[in-house]
Amino acid sequence: MSRESGVVKVDGEVIATRRVGAYHHLTIVAPGVAELARPGQFAALAVGGPTSGTLLRRSFSIHKVSPSGTYGGTLDLVVAAKGAGTQWLTGLRAHDSVDVVAPLGRAFPLPTEPVPCVLVGGGYGSAPLFWLAEVLRERGCTVEMVLGAASEDRLFGVVEARRAADRVTVTTDDGSAGQRGWVSDVLPEVFRRTGAPVAYACGPMGMLQSVTRVAAEHGAVAQVAVEESMACGVGVCMTCVMPVRGKDGVTSMVRSCVEGPVFRGDRIRWEAFHDGVCGVPEDTVGAPRTGGH
């Protein structure tokens, strides 16, 4: 089914599901995904079974993959139960089946030199970072991780982080674990200490914006994995767009499922986002003229 296209659609089988704090960690047999996937890409899952009235796919960062093993290739995801679809997913049991399309989107671009890197995860946004840390360290990069969340149960992978990174800092809004505050409070010190030229971040949009800002203040580039509402995940519906400046400086509404989810933070037009709504900046290609569409 792959047509040498870098993506597969498979009928996956859940082989393990376990609670991790506020999240569910799912391991799914999904042959063909592991060979194609790279850190930062995501999987789009159908929910509710083949005749479900809930049609739209749900997207999740790929936490990790393993090419073979007892069951054939597997895919791991970390899912927070939110609405109907994620509740269905977190209710799955071993041997239940789930339709998976993966891997999708652009992966985190890797540095060509062995440089220090800062990895920042907010809530379940840390899910793709451990695998990324592994790949970066294989290339001789040192990795410093900052994990933040509202409270301790919403942190994901603190123990794993200590293994995957050279140093880990934890923050929580309520101080229930690590330092009380936001990741942006500790980041300046991390950039100063490491001199990292690049930061990788995944988490809520507000956090990604502040990582981008702090990185820029320290002369670093932020590569951020965004989260925008997606209906298809494969590039055909145009619901997942956001205003992003291209290399030529021109802003367009680009599909975050195809051209993202990883973008250079300084290319995203953050000022267009307000409280869950994103407008079209006036200088965007084809922006509505006053009174127009």
Among 33, 111, 124, 262, binds ligand FAD (CB under 6 A): 124
* Dist CA 164 CA 121 (whole Å): 13
Span of 87-95, 151-159, 199-207, 230-238 interacting with ligand FES by CB under 6 A? 230-238
Which positions from 193 to 232 touch other proteins by CB under 8 A, shown as an x/- string?
-----------------------------------xx-xx
Eight-state DSSP code of residue 204: -
CB 148 within 8 A of CB 172: yes
How many residues contact ligand FES, by CB under 6 A? 12
From residue 38, how far is each of 23, 62, 283 by CA, in Å? 23, 9, 34
* Dist CA 239 CA 242 (whole Å): 9
Q: Hey, is 21 helix, strand or coil?
A: coil
Q: Which of the choices other proteins, ligand FAD, ligand FES, none does residue 249 contact, using the CB cut-off of 5 to 8 A by kind?
A: none
Among 116, 148, 233, 265, binds ligand FES (CB under 6 A): 233
Q: Which of the choices ligand FAD, ligand FES, other proteins, none does residue 156 contact, using the CB cut-off of 5 to 8 A by kind?
A: none
Q: Does 52 carry a binding-site annotation?
A: no
- The H-or-E segment that residue 186 falls in is helix 183-194
Burial track 58-87 (b if 16+ CB lie within 10 A, e otherwise): bbbbbbbbeeeeeebbbbbbbbbeeeebbe
- The H-or-E segment that residue 75 falls in is strand 74-80
* Dist CA 255 CA 264 (whole Å): 14
Q: How many CB atoms lie within 10 A of CB 213?
A: 15
Question: Where in 271-290 is the site for other proteins (CB under 8 A)?
Answer: 272, 276-280, 284-288
The size of the chain, in residues, is 293
Q: Which of the choices ligand FAD, ligand FES, other proteins, none does residue 9 contact, using the CB cut-off of 5 to 8 A by kind?
A: other proteins
Residue 22 binds ligand FAD, judged by CB under 6 A: no
Q: Does 38 carry a binding-site annotation?
A: no
* Dist CA 121 CA 117 (whole Å): 13
Residue 19 binds ligand FAD, judged by CB under 6 A: no
- Burial, 185: exposed, middle or buried (Cβ in 10 Å; 0-12, 13-18, 19+)? middle
Q: Which of the choices ligand FES, ligand FAD, other proteins, none does residue 82 contact, using the CB cut-off of 5 to 8 A by kind?
A: ligand FAD
* Dist CA 119 CA 43 (whole Å): 21
Span of 83-91, 181-189, 244-252, 280-288 interacting with ligand FAD by CB under 6 A? 83-91
Q: Does 117 carry a binding-site annotation?
A: no
Among 21, 28, 29, 60, binds ligand FAD (CB under 6 A): 60
Residues forming contacts to ligand FES in the complex (CB under 6 A) are: 230-233, 235-240, 255, 257
Q: List residues forming the annotated binding site.
A: 58-61, 85-86, 232, 237, 240, 257
Contact residues toward ligand FAD (CB under 6 A) are 42, 56, 58-61, 78-80, 82-86, 124, 127, 227-231, 261
Which positions make up the binding site for [2Fe-2S] cluster? 232, 237, 240, 257
